[in-house]
Structure 1
Amino acid sequence: MDDRQRYDRATAHLEPPFAVLDLAALHANATAMTRRAHGKPIRVASKSIRSRPVLTRILDMDGFTGIMAFTLPEALWLVSTGLRDVLVAYPTADRTALAQLAADPRAAREITITIDRPEHLDFIESAVSGVRDRHELRICLDIDAGYLALGGRFRAGALRSPVREADQAADLAADTAKRPGLRLTGLMAYEAQIAGVGDDPPGRSALTPAIRWMQSLSRRELVMRRGRIVQAVRQVTDLEFVNGGGTGSIGSTTREKAVTEIAAGSGFFHPRLFDFYRDFTGRPAALFALPVVRRPAPGTVTVLGGGYVASGPPGPHRLPQPYLPPGLRYAPDEGAGEVQTPLTGQAAEDLRVGDRVWFRHAKAGELCERFATLHLIEGDKVVEEVPTYRGEGRTFL
């Protein structure tokens, strides 16, 4: 039985649109990730999961410890439900959430918030100044892991922290250490130009050598610079963790002595954008099904909805992939639509009204912003239905 038959049989009782998670694929991907990490713990990026029961399921597997959250309200909620060790990987300007954090002893113990400039420290102190019996807050320093060349005229990597050199990091660590009620406990640096950029892109053969060359240079530069930064900060204060990497760079980041843990999330679901790496392969685990509702012309069918476009730079690679049956493609004049999506190709000839087309999202967790439930599949059966963040009434971004 092929995957399409298996998914159709498992979900025959459901009316699309709906989303599924293939548990065998999820476990295979998780096992491959821990193998690449070579013993270093992996912190699970919640933005790529966005389902509390699935997060718990992953954290119960060997090799995974802690959560990397994307907002402080999300972290507060996760901790209130019993989850632990949550790093909020992005600075917050939420005064209410900061006050809640400082007033809650358990949350203050389990949550670490991120800063990258003195202004963040000033903001935090202002936000919690009115809290009685306030608890010490755990702070993580975010470092710029981007690659610069040509005297800074060329840059690869996400625009995140302004802190790039060891002396800058040490100065900010010293500033943090002088402020009562704040304690620097961690350091993070996300090499997006390696972890989030596939080195085997489709249809871009002319760019492939340049991408690989840039990533090779960036790895060499970062291992030295990150090492110097960590050493400089450790002269100021003890660090409980140094976080680095992402799904696409687990194998290289884990080799750095300065890094104590890896962050990863997309690898569990293995969305479309993660097909284009040479060093690892995964199994598509998260899919969504849309029903065929029209046959407007020979060789063309139309499915309901489908415009689930991924964030990031716009382009065709941000659209969901018509996955099963194979051989479907978007109509060039419409693409993935808000309420309908025409699909063409030989496979369309065999589809009838009411049949399902299975799609993969370009990214991982954004799929869960569209669906309230994930139907968990083992073999050809749905064994459990679990809520996404949205299904629990939570929409943090």
Structure 2
Amino acid sequence: MAIGRLPNMERLERLTRDLETPYAVVDGAALAHNTAELVRRAGGVPVRVASKSVRVREILDRTLATDGFAGAMSYSLAESVWLADEGHTDLLLAYPTTHRGALADLVAKDHRASAITVMVDSLAHLDFIDSVVGTDHPPIRVCIDVDSSLEPFRGLHLGVRRSPVHSAEDAIALARAISARPGFDLVGLMFYDAQIAGLPDSSPAVRFVKSRSLADIVARRARIVEAVRQVTDLAIVNAGGTGSLDVMRDDPYITELTAGSGLFMPTLFDSYDAFEATPAAFYALSVVRKPTPEIATLFSGGYAASGAAGKSRLPTPVWPAGLSLIGTEGAGEVQTPVRGPVARGLRVGDRVFMRHAKAGEMCERFDAVHLVHTEESPGGAATVETLPTYRGEGKNFG
């Protein structure tokens, strides 16, 4: 499949015309559609929302209030503490932490320690925690990050570099060591299949690798879960991402899936076989000059995504249709030139809407997103709701 229909961009532009650019906008109907699609694709398995792919607390809260979702996957311990203080009771931290202040905050309040599960992949993480808060701390819930990359033969690694825990032997050795360690409570395992969930179906070779990787991780996860269950009860066996819900949901060993990017559907999710992307999040830039009739220069907009640098990490102009970035300049810090025949009709002060390559990263550039709602009736009234991002609430988690 490919990218689905864009929302009515003329309507988005009209309803947000009084806002000063640059600004971020989310189409409410597309967001609602994507929310329902994640639940459908999960097939009855609870979906944990990846907060890094949202970074708007109100949208995170509303998503979690929807049937089919349960708990948030945070990306920073300081963020986790903040969300726990704001009432969240089920937070799985996706990455190990060395944030000393947040560790002290974690053990300072019972409601934080009960709500937050931290991620580890070695005893070095437990040693660090003890070195910061001492050994006489309340029980800290921990989850083991299991490397879910494909290693078809020695020396070839397909996937992201995450955890040193790869085999059932690795997992059970660490599980036993954690269980024997005072002050820590092993409650979960996480298996993030980046080479499946985060890799578009761009070629037969990619599809083959993803199929091979799926068979590997399903078989390996069964061995690992069975082994660790000999040591402790597991409340969490987490798997998947927006790109792999459909193939991970049938594994009887998992208790939950994770997704977040699928709410906004950035450009990196435009080429998956299992679903059609419905873009929901955009940002608007103003034309500030016309160096040639077929080039319009926009103010700001150089919001490149993280990951391996390349064209796929650049934002994409999507409205008016027919514009593209200039290869020699790309998207710039203070100016972004776009070109195409449609640029002949653009004038200084007109707006161009862009899509980010990733989801929540866009929100690090804006203090708010403007959520546009339209009633389901001809000529129905529309509202624009301004919601603060993490940044707009004064939060910067790195």
The TM-score by the shorter chain falls in which range?
A: over 0.9
* Other-structure match for 2:210: 215
Give distance in 1, aligned partners of 2:273 and 2:367: 34
Specify the alignment match of 2:378 in structure 1: none
How far the C-alpha of 1:66 sits from its partner, in A, is 0.3
Q: Distance in 2 between matches of 1:176 and 1:53?
A: 36
- Residue matched to 2:166: 164
Q: Deviations over 1:176-200 (max 9, x none)?
A: 1111111001110100000000013
2:383 and 2:362 mapped to 1: Cα distance?
A: 19
Shift of 1:330: 1.1
Aligned to 2:141: 138
In the other structure, the counterpart of 1:371 is 366
SS of equivalent residue, structure 2 residue 105: helix
> What residue in structure 2 maps to residue 60 of structure 1?
65
Is this contact kept in 2: 1:245–1:264, CA < 8 A?
A: yes
Distance between the aligned counterparts of 1:68 and 1:311, measured in 2?
A: 19
Taking the TM superposition and a 5 Å limit, the aligned residue runs for 1:231-380 are: 231-379=226-374
The aligned amino acid for 2:314 is L
Count of matched residue pairs? 387
Give the secondary structure class of the aligned counterpart of 2:232.
coil
Deviation at 1:36, TM superposition (A): 0.9
TM superposition shift of 1:96: 2.1
Q: Residue 174 of structure 1 corresponds to which residue in structure 2?
A: 176
Contact 1:11/1:382 (<8 A) preserved: no
Q: Tell me, in whole angstroms, the C-alpha distance in 2 between the residues paired with 1:121 and 1:373.
A: 37
Q: Which amino acid aligns with 2:196?
A: I
User: 1:37-116, aligned counterparts within 5 Å?
Assistant: 37-116=42-121
The structural deviation recorded for 1:104 is 1.1
1:8 alignment partner in structure 2: 13
SS for the counterpart of 1:158 is: coil
The answer on whether the counterparts of 2:197 and 2:243 sit within 8 Å (CA) in structure 1 is yes
Q: Which runs of 5+ in 1 are unaligned?
A: 201-207
Q: Specify the code of the residue in structure 1 equivalent to 2:390.
A: Y
Unaligned stretches of 5+ in structure 2? 1-5, 375-380
Report the alpha carbon displacement of residue 2 of structure 1 after superposing the two structures with TM: 6.9
1:6-65 Cα offsets, whole Å, 9 max, x none, are 011110221211001111111101111111111000000000000111101111111111
The alignment's C-alpha RMSD in Å is 1.3
- Write out per-residue CA displacement over residues 155-207 of structure 1, whole angstroms, 9 at most, x where no aligned residue: 1111000001111111111111111111001110100000000013xxxxxxx
- Distance across 1 between alignment mates of 2:293 and 2:364: 34
Question: C-alpha separation between the residues in 2 aligned to 1:358 and 1:87?
Answer: 34
Deviation at 1:153, TM superposition (A): 2.2
Q: Give 2:377's aligned residue.
A: none
Deviation per residue, 1:66-112 (Å, 9 max, x gap):
00000100000011111220011100111221122112100000000
Supply the distance in 2 between the matched residues of 1:100 and 1:297 (Cα, whole angstroms).
Answer: 56
Quote the residue 1:393 is aligned against. Answer: 394
- Report deviation, 1:368: 0.3
* Superposed structure 1 runs of 4+ greater than 4 Å apart: none
- 8 Å contact kept, 2:49–2:70: yes
Cα distance, 1:384 vs structure 2 = 1.2
Contact 2:363–2:389 under 8 Å retained in 1: yes
Query: Aligned in 2, Cα 1:362/1:261: closer, same or farther, shift over 3 Å?
Result: same
C-alpha deviation, 1:243, in angstroms: 0.2
The answer to whether structure 1 residue 384 and structure 2 residue 385 are counterparts is: yes
Q: What code does the residue aligned with 2:158 have? A: A
> In the alignment, residue 166 of structure 1 is paired with which amino acid?
A
User: TM-score of the superposition, structure 2-length normalised?
Assistant: 0.95
Q: TM-score, normalised to structure 1's length?
A: 0.95
Contact 1:11 1:381 in 2 (8 A): no
Q: Distance in 2 between matches of 1:130 and 1:395?
A: 29
Contact 1:140 1:186 in 2 (8 A): yes
